[in-house]
Amino acid sequence: MTMAVVGILGHYSETLMIFFLPQILNFLLSLPQLAGIVPCPRHRLPRFDPQTGLLTGTNDGTLVNLFLRQFGRKSEKTLCILLLIFQAICCGFCFLLRWILTGLVQMTDQCRCQRKSC
């Protein structure tokens, strides 16, 4: 909530989207269930196996379940670390992308300015 308020009031909507990329991906994965195309169960959490202490992914459309289906059964601590690493990689990639795009926009603005003799 704090991130949203700072992003909106500070006019940093692009930067805000960078931090929320995994949450946006989670929403897109959940969209078929939210729209009613795929049946949505009451609980969309992964299954916990008390004998092994590991979480097992289900076929529900969440980022947590997607990670468990792709990388296999994990403990809650390992899954949390894996998701935090994913969040950090997404933020780093988006900051790099924003830095590259900002450079392209500045080069375009300089070319326009030179044509008009600013």
| Residue range 51-108, pLDDT digits in tens | 999 999 998 889 999 999 999 999 999 999 999 999 999 888 888 888 888 777 777 7
Q: Give the Å distances, CA to CA, from 75 to 47, 49, 92.
A: 11, 10, 26
Query: How far is it, in rounded angstroms, from Cα 27 to Cα 41?
Result: 16
The tokens for 69 are 């289906």
- CB-side neighbour CA atoms (13 Å) of 111: 6
Percent of the chain with pLDDT over 70: 81
Q: Which amino acid is at 90?
A: C
